[in-house]
Structure 1
Amino acid sequence: MPPKDADPRPCSIAGTLDLVGERWSILIVRELFHGVRRFDGIARNTGASRDILTTRLRKLESAGVLRRELYSDRPARYEYHLTEAGRELGDAMLLLLKWGDRHINQDDPPVVWSHSCGADLVPEVVCAACGEPAREGAHSPRGRGVRPV
């Protein structure tokens, strides 16, 4: 439990983790990236129980990460689709994949993504101005979440 006088640093990472930082939510997004759209397929591929999956799908929908589309009236059944905000999570997910391939599954990466040109996709964070990798030229952050040491 944080101390009573704790003043957490304002941070978009913390807010993002509040939404997708636990196992089931990020695995749901992974499945949608793989094209799995229906509840049963998402449940099977993630291993999430039905109640947990229902709760996480509702949370992601209310946050605007995914949307439901009715595909059967009787009984009512839905497919799930990523919104633009959900698709933007793809960059972060590909970076997590790259890290996991490098540090966890070095000998046998289970998934390799391809770019539309046919080459293997290797995600990288680069400077928008010069194209240099971020980790090579990153400097101190700025903004309201920065506090002096």
Structure 2
Amino acid sequence: MARSASLIGDPWSLLIIREALAGNRRFSDFVEFTGAQPSVVSDRLKRLVAAGVLRSSQYQDHPPRNEYRLTPMGRALQPVLIALSNWGDEFLDNGHGAPLVYIHEGCGQPAHPQMTCTHCGDSVDAHSLRVIPGPGADPDNVARRVSHATRSAD
């Protein structure tokens, strides 16, 4: 999670990705719809392109202007942003309601992402999950977690 947060965890990057998912491609649109200063948008676009979340292509020569499109890596962030948006709508709306509603094209109703087990299809939540070290885990971090879990269980 730390690697993901270091790339997309700041608010401006998330808002730029949100706008790209909505179909915006031009620098001026990212500035307008995120409310970020042009220098901030420029910095985040460079970072997201360098990381492979967006790709840049020039659409005008004089003056040179680029548009930005999501890569498959960037498009894969859609469920993450929808879940984050729905979480904010539920817990941070101050009684005003959701500023954006995601409608399922198939039935025309509001969509709320739900995690399911890819093996059996059951719904998954925090109470039905257990976290174990994966193949990319840092051995030192695993040892600290095991030690902490042992102390916490006492």
Q: Same fold (TM over 0.5)?
A: yes
Q: Which residue of 1 aligns with 2:80?
A: 92
TM-score (norm 1): 0.85
User: What is the number of residues matched between the two proteins?
Assistant: 137
Q: How far does the alpha carbon of each residue in 1:32-74 deviate from its partner, in whole angstroms, 9 at most, with x for none?
A: 1111111111101111111111111000000000011211111
Q: Over aligned residues, Cα RMSD in angstroms?
A: 1.5
Higher normalized contact order (CA 8 Å, seq sep 6+, divided by chain length): 1
- Which of 122, 127, 142 is the matching residue for 2:133? 142
1:78 aligns with 2:66: yes
Aligned equivalents of 1:115 and 1:45: distance in 2?
23
1:108 equivalent in alignment to 2:110: no
* Match among 131, 134, 137 for residue 121 of structure 2: 131
Counterpart Cα distance in 2 of 1:37 and 1:51: 17
Report the Cα distance in structure 2 between the residues aligned to 1:112 and 1:141, rounded to whole angstroms: 35
- Structure 1 window deviating more from structure 2 (68-77 vs 129-138): it is 129-138
- Partners of 2:118 and 2:35 in 1: how far apart? 38
Identity %, equivalent residues: 36
Corresponding residue for 1:122? 112
* Higher helix proportion (structure 1 or 2): 2
Q: Give the superposition deviation at 1:141.
A: 2.5
**Letter aligned with residue 111 of structure 1:** L
CA distance in 1, matches of 2:12, 2:63: 25
Q: CA deviation at 1:26?
A: 0.7
Q: 1:44 aligns with which of 8, 17, 32?
A: 32
Structure 2 residue matching 1:134: 3-state secondary structure: coil
TM-score, scaled to structure 2: 0.82
Tell me the SS of whatever aligns to 2:58: strand
The alpha-carbon deviation at position 132 of structure 1 amounts to 2.2
Q: Offset at 1:116?
A: 2.6
> Partners in 1 of 2:114 and 2:40 — Cα distance?
33
Segments of 5+ residues of structure 1 without an aligned counterpart are 1-12
Q: Which runs of 5+ in 2 are unaligned?
A: 149-154
